[in-house]
Amino acid sequence: MNHTQNPKNLLQATPRWLAAARNSIILSALLSATAAFGQIRTVYVIPYSHWDRGFLTSPEAILPRLKTHIDEVIDCAAADPEYRWTIESIWQLNEWLKRTDDPKRLQLLRDLVKRGQIEISGAYGSMHTEFMDSEELNLLTQDSFRMTRALGLDFPELVTMDDVPGYSERVPQVLAGSRVRYFLAGANLFIGGGTSLAPGHVPFYWEGPDGSRVLTWISQGKVGGYVEGMQEYYVAPTTPDPYGNLPNLLPKELQGKPPLEVMELGMRRLQETYQKAGYKYDAVLVMYVHDFISPTVERDHLLPWVRKWNASGRQPQLRVATPKEFFDYILSKYSNSIPTYKGDWTGLWAEVKTNSPGIDTLARKVQLDLRANSLLWSGLRLKRGIAFPAGNHLEDYRRLWNYDDQHTSRFPRTEPDVHQVLLHPQRELNDIEPTDYSPGTSTHLRLELQHVVQWPTERLHYCESRSERQ
């Protein structure tokens, strides 16, 4: 049969009773397909807070707030076994640990993570990965290893990154090499980016250049992607505006309507969105995230409305969860049917770095210097047993990551304001100095070259003297 033949012509050449039967079969098949695609039985609602360091104020001014924030997460989770929270980035946990020396608080956090109520994301931050040097990207999860080891926890299986429209193709290779199994991205598309795979073809295995892969979910949208639970699917209609401008985040036409009715509208939109895209699973992930939201928002708004919704018998069921709980469920039921894709979807958002070309150039130089410094010290450690200055090295990379982390300003600024804001990354990068190696105390010029290749070579080396340039 010629499969390009017009189906309408085939029906015209068929007896009426047979055509009617075929139409009935086709209609039944379409209805079955609709049911298969449309029956989302469980919505996994993932609550946490997105911290954009330069959005409200200068990056350094926002850091002390992390102490109160994570303390509230711990208190809310300890008071309610159904409470769930994800700590978005390692830098946030680092700021809390700097300000916490109470062993009881540390133990309580440890217990809540082990119980699965709190999940820690293994990435330093939500990074401009296309701007990052390869070695810098390779070390993206190193801080999480140090922190989880210090807390007596397993290495994170999850990485979340938000408010960036896409990521380098090297990311799955780095994550898989760091024992990370799951990647959750809340992609902001307001100036482009994103991927055509969402929402119909998520979750999927994102494969890196070396064949390693990580199970990936992408929520994306022009208002941030990660805010979908509050501003698109209305899973808790009374959720307050985190910036205090409005009593809640609902559009004007839904203001004043009964909350459960608003939730029905949101769930209908969710079903239609995923059904239209051909979504094939019976569970879906919805991010309930916004900028700087308090952990008490889940306690006072999300959990009460989820409980009322489920108690009313409405469908689909809502479940407040960590990302790992959703990914584990998908793997338990659909592990043999999850597709694999490879490629780059950076979105080119790192072009904003051209707004500060001087600092940008300095960051590039620091990337090269740190890589060379690491190689030198690795050689010294192997050949002479000299201890690698790991603490200094990690602190230098933190300063570099702070620059490469996603952070923007909410408000228009004057030129002096912009100058003050840019002084912070300038100071951070200027503070990075290669760790000196001084094996002797002689006042004479001493030069040591480390030969890091395994074969003899003859080459001319130019070095700069401290006393004079030559």
- CB-based contact 171:183 (threshold 8 Å): yes
Mean pLDDT of 184-212: 93
Whether residue 104 sits in one domain with residue 163: yes
Confidence of residue 5 (pLDDT cuts 50, 70, 90): very low
The answer to the question of residue 30 being in a domain is no
- CB-based contact 168:206 (threshold 8 Å): no
pLDDT of residue 16: 36
pLDDT in tens, 289-330: 999 999 999 999 999 999 999 999 999 999 999 999 999 999
Distance (Å, rounded) from C-alpha 182 to C-alpha 338? Answer: 13
Any idea of the CA torsion for 275, 277, 281, 284, to the nearest 10 degrees? -90
**Domain limit, last residue, from 342, 375, 407:** 342
Whether residue 385 sits in one domain with residue 306: no
Whether residue 219 sits in one domain with residue 135: yes
**Domain limit, last residue, from 312, 342, 372:** 342
Whether residue 326 sits in one domain with residue 267: yes
**Domain limit, last residue, from 318, 342, 366:** 342
Radius of gyration of the chain (CA): 27
Whether residue 365 sits in one domain with residue 229: no
Whether residue 334 sits in one domain with residue 393: no
Domain count, the chain: 2
- CB-CB neighbours of 199 under 10 Å: 19
Who has greater pLDDT, 470 or 205?
Answer: 205
Tokens (6 digits) for 204:
């999927």
pLDDT in tens, 449-465: 655 455 566 666 666 66
* pLDDT at position 86 over 90: yes
The CATH number of the domain holding residue 330 is: 3.20.110.10
Whether residue 101 sits in one domain with residue 159: yes
| Burial classification of residue 185, based on how many CB atoms lie within 10 Å of its CB (0-12 exposed, 13-18 middle, 19 or more buried) | buried
Percent of the chain predicted with pLDDT > 90: 57
Domain around 86 = 38-342
DSSP code at position 349: G
Whether residue 212 sits in one domain with residue 149: yes
- CB-based contact 289:89 (threshold 8 Å): no
Q: Which of 33-37, 182-186, 224-228, 407-411 has the highest mean pLDDT?
A: 182-186
Mean pLDDT of 21-46: 57
Half-sphere exposure of 391 (CA within 13 A, CB side): 1
pLDDT of residue 241: 95
Whether residue 290 sits in one domain with residue 183: yes
- CB-based contact 44:329 (threshold 8 Å): yes
Q: Which of 14-23, 167-176, 325-334, 360-369 has the lowest mean pLDDT?
A: 14-23
Query: Is the backbone of residue 28 left (phi > 0), alpha (psi -120 to 50) or beta?
Result: alpha
Whether residue 401 sits in one domain with residue 303: no
Q: Which of 123-132, 220-229, 408-417 has the lowest mean pLDDT?
A: 408-417
Whether residue 218 sits in one domain with residue 72: yes
Whether residue 414 sits in one domain with residue 288: no
Distance (Å, rounded) from C-alpha 163 to C-alpha 125? Answer: 11
